[in-house]
Amino acid sequence: MKETEYGRLRQAMVEQQIKGRGICNPDILDAFLNVRRHIFIPAELRDRAYEDHPLPIGFNQTISQPYIVGYMVNALEPDKNMRILEIGTGSGYQTAVISLLFKKVFSVEINAELAHRAKKILNEERYCNIKIKQGDGFKGWKEFAPFDRIIVSCAPGNIPATLSDQLADGGKMIIPAGEKHDQKLYLVEKKDGIISQAERLHVAFVPMLHKD
């Protein structure tokens, strides 16, 4: 498929799946228009890159449905002066999207091969404000904490205090949590050192892998 056709499909994705479902922040829409989602997907699935569902990327992991990525990013109210921690780099697609909306992205991926692959693609696509490490996302990235925002792309059984603790005061985290068939998306906020959380959606994410 030619780049012009991918571009047409990407435009339709943004109009129908993102904007069409109520996400109207122009910066977010521009980010989705500018990130070539198909590049982050295995070659044999690229003709399905802009469809309205998740796709496998190997290692029992997926690239999330475009709308869910948009919903999560929108809930965080992005600002280009903020630093964000991403847990679950995966394909690197969401990493690319948030890199256009935040000053600096710190991303943690537990699978070494996925971390290497995402870093390679992001470098080739010239995203320059991203720092990726292979490691246990359950532990966050304490070295660079606190973070203004945290976005989590895999579901622990419960919201880890290790991540909430790495939020800056006034910060927000969007995270799925729960067992496989009973997951919910939560918006976590820290104000004056106090953590609160609110349920947003029923979701289905791959489980968070954790090394004790």
What tens digit of pLDDT does each residue of 58-71 get?
Answer: 998 999 999 999 99
Domain-located, residue 211: no
Identify whether 212 is part of a domain: no
Domain presence at residue 208: no
- What does pTM read for this prediction? 0.96
Element (H, E) at 150: strand 147-152
Q: Which residues touch 24 (CB under 8 Å, ≥6 apart)?
A: none
Contacts of 175 (CB under 8 A, 6+ apart): 87, 150, 151, 152, 155, 156, 159, 163, 185, 186, 188
Residue 168: inside a domain, yes or no?
A: yes
Is 197 among the domain residues?
Answer: yes
- Rg, Å, the chain Cα set: 16
pLDDT at residue 81 greater than cutoff 90? yes
Q: Looking at residue 181, what is its pLDDT?
A: 82
For residues 46 and 91, what is the distance between their CA atoms, to the nearest angstrom? 13
In degrees and rounded to multiples of 5, residue 38 shows phi and psi of -65, -25
Q: In this predicted structure, what is the pLDDT of residue 209?
A: 84
Instruction: Report d(CA 99, CA 151) in Å as an integer.
Output: 12
SS (H, E, C) 27-89: HHHHHHHHCCHHHHCCHHHHHHCCCCCCEEEECCEEECCHHHHHHHHHHCCCCCCCEEEEECC
Model pLDDT, residue 210? 79
CATH of the domain at 67: 3.40.50.150
As a whole-number percent, the residues of the chain with pLDDT over 70 amount to: 99
Which candidate, 75, 45, 87, 69, places its Cα nearest to that of 207? 87
Integer Cα distance of 184 and 205 in angstroms = 9
Which of 64, 91, 107, 164 is flagged as catalytic? 64
How many structural domains does the chain have? 1
The alpha carbon of residue 26 and the mean position of all alpha carbons in its chain are separated, in whole angstroms, by 18
Known catalytic residue at 64 = yes
pLDDT-derived band of residue 115, with 50, 70 and 90 as boundaries? very high
pLDDT digits (tens, 9 = 90+) for 7-31: 999 999 999 999 999 999 999 999 9
Q: H or E stretch including 190?
A: strand 182-191
Q: What is the pLDDT of residues 144-168, one digit of tens each?
A: 999 999 999 999 999 999 999 999 9
> What is the structure's pLDDT at 162?
96
In a domain, residue 210? The reply is no
pLDDT of residue 212: 62
**C-alpha count within 13 angstroms, C-beta hemisphere, residue 185:** 18
Quote the domain boundaries for residue 99: 3-203
